[in-house]
Amino acid sequence: MSAYAVLTTASNQPGILFGLTKVLADHSANITYVDIIPHTDKDSQIYLEFSVTSPIDQVITELGGVPGVTGVEMTPSFSNIYGKRIVIMGGGAQVGQVALGAISEADRHNIRGERISVDTIPLVGEEALASAVRAVIRLPRVRLLVLAGSIMGGEISRAVEDVRQKGLYVISLNMAGSVPDVADLVVSDPVQAGVMAVMAVADTAKFDIVRQQKRRY
């Protein structure tokens, strides 16, 4: 099945998403991602990624025929543009240093054909961080989370255990609290933590984070 991404423009009314997905279901398409982009001053947009065996021109024509849809355009998928995502969260100073290493290393791999993007969010407070950690698993294309701070534990540690059980890798800075005890890898230097995070997800790097489980550097 060939993979495609389309961006549709449609009026904000009930049944639009049903109509679009019904067209794809009629063609036995496998929908892999959906995003609704609302606008206050114009029609909303619905972005879909899917795989299908039917001729894509026919699918596009039928999508454009859904009542309320005013435009359909092919677009490169988010995976091709932004690729894998690394999320860094915690204290602003530490987050900035981890991002320095991650962005520098991502640039090296992206020049060689990778697509790795780095997201950051400075946060403080146990409840806020725990909620953010749990929410990361719902973001598309996230491969790894880096927790950067001076002290994290309690509910944050339980959140880390939750996301690791769902397959997300977590790197922690060497800090006070129990988060380093539950992370996949603990790194003392924040710049090096960013570098190792990118190496862990890059296909062009020879670094296996699974073999580094529970180690401290």
pLDDT reading at 42 higher than 90: no
Q: What pLDDT was estimated at residue 192?
A: 96
Query: Tokens 């005013």 appear where?
Result: 70
User: Which pLDDT does position 151 carry in this prediction?
Assistant: 95
Alpha carbon 13 to its chain's center: 29
2-78: CATH superfamily? ACT domain (3.30.70.260)
Predicted TM-score (pTM) of the model is 0.83
CB-based contact 98:197 (threshold 8 Å): yes
Q: Are 164 and 182 in contact (CB under 8 A)?
A: yes
Contact 17, 31 (CB under 8 A): no
Mutual angle of helices 126-136 and 155-165, in 10-degree steps: 0
Spatial distance between the Cα atoms of 73 and 129, rounded to a whole number of angstroms? 38
Q: Which two tokens stand for residue 58?
A: 């026919």
Question: Where along the chain do its domains lie?
Answer: 2-78, 82-216
Q: Would the pLDDT of 41 be above 90?
A: no
Judged on CB neighbours under 10 Å (0-12, 13-18, 19+), 154 is: middle
What architecture is the 82-216 domain classified under in CATH? 3-Layer(aba) Sandwich (3.40)
Exposed / middle / buried, residue 98 (Cβ in 10 Å: 0-12, 13-18, 19+): buried
Per-residue model confidence as pLDDT tens digits over 124-159: 999 999 999 999 999 989 999 999 999 999 999 999
Instruction: Tokens for 63, please give them.
Output: 């999508």
Containing 82, the helix (H) or strand (E) segment is none
Kindly report, residue by residue over 171-184, the tens digit of the pLDDT: 999 999 999 999 99
DSSP conformation letters of 142-162: EEEEEEESSB--THHHHHHHH
Q: What is the pLDDT of residues 54-99, one digit of tens each?
A: 999 999 999 999 999 999 999 998 888 888 999 999 999 999 999 9
